[in-house]
């Protein structure tokens, strides 16, 4: 998750794969929910469809959206435009899929 550079976003499933746990996307969510996530770029983690995982009326939603916008990420109606969680983090970080 820390490998995600500012201005980029990744999906829960991708992060799980990076951790060597394919199919454990929900586990990542569980972690962030319980963990103090204060030292993690949790705001760069989105759903696979580029949607923010929080409900639009939730304060967390506003925070994540704001943080993303602060990094230059285009957020519209709770959705990220331009890069909706690529298939692999390599493609996001390195730009050429490994």
Q: Which residues bind DNA (CB under 7 A)?
A: 11-14, 23-30, 32-33, 37, 42-43, 45, 47-49, 53-54, 60, 64, 79, 85
Quick one: how far is CA 89 from the chain centroid? 11
For DNA, which is the closer residue by CB, 23 or 95? 23
For DNA, which is the closer residue by CB, 33 or 95? 33
Q: Is 49 exposed, middle or buried (0-12, 13-18, 19+ CB in 10 A)?
A: exposed
Q: Is 61 helix (H, G, I), strand (E, B) or coil?
A: helix
- Shortest Å distance, C-beta 26 to DNA: 4
Task: Determine how many CB atoms are found less than 10 A away from the CB of residue 26.
Answer: 11
Q: What is the DSSP letter of 51?
A: B
For DNA, which is the closer residue by CB, 7 or 30? 30
- Shortest Å distance, C-beta 96 to DNA: 20
């Amino acid at each position: 998750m820390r490998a995600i550079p500012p201005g980029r976003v990744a999906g829960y499933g991708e992060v799980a794969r990076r951790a060597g746990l394919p199919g454990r996307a929900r586990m990542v969510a569980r972690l962030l929910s319980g963990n103090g996530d204060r030292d993690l770029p949790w705001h760069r983690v989105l759903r696979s469809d580029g949607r923010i995982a929080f409900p639009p009326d939730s304060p967390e939603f506003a925070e994540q959206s704001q943080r993303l916008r602060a990094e230059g990420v285009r957020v519209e109606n709770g959705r990220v435009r331009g890069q909706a969680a690529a298939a692999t983090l390599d493609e996001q970080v390195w730009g050429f899929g490994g």
